[in-house]
Structure 1
Amino acid sequence: MYTSPALPDTRPMSHEALFDQAVNLAYQTFDEPTDGHIAGVYAVLVFWARCGVSVDALALH
């Protein structure tokens, strides 16, 4: 379970904004991102948005 001393940001998430962010992050991270790369980044962004966390960067392994 995610715990943080700060209150989570519980604004409604915009799936379109999250998808745009996923595309931008994928193109910044991968030389030639595929649909799979973008979908993976999007899934992580949706997960963290549901937890109330805004993500500006990802660590991908």
Structure 2
Amino acid sequence: MLGPVRAAAFWSAVALPLTYLPMVATGAVWDRPVVFCALLALNAVAFLAGHGHDPGTA
């Protein structure tokens, strides 16, 4: 049970930063700072939860 959760958290931590660039480019960071901070917090949680995952294993 822990393996799939850890894998999902790992790949979420990899993918979430891709949402930052469009937010910065469109200025949404300044329009919705709470959403941006929530994304940063979610990325930190995903990083902590998924840091033990080895992407070389399925």
* TM-score class, shorter: 0.3 to 0.5
Q: Which has the higher contact order (CA 8 A, sep 6+)?
A: 2
Higher helix share: 2
Q: What TM-score do you get using the length of structure 2 for normalisation?
A: 0.41
Structure showing greater Rg: 2
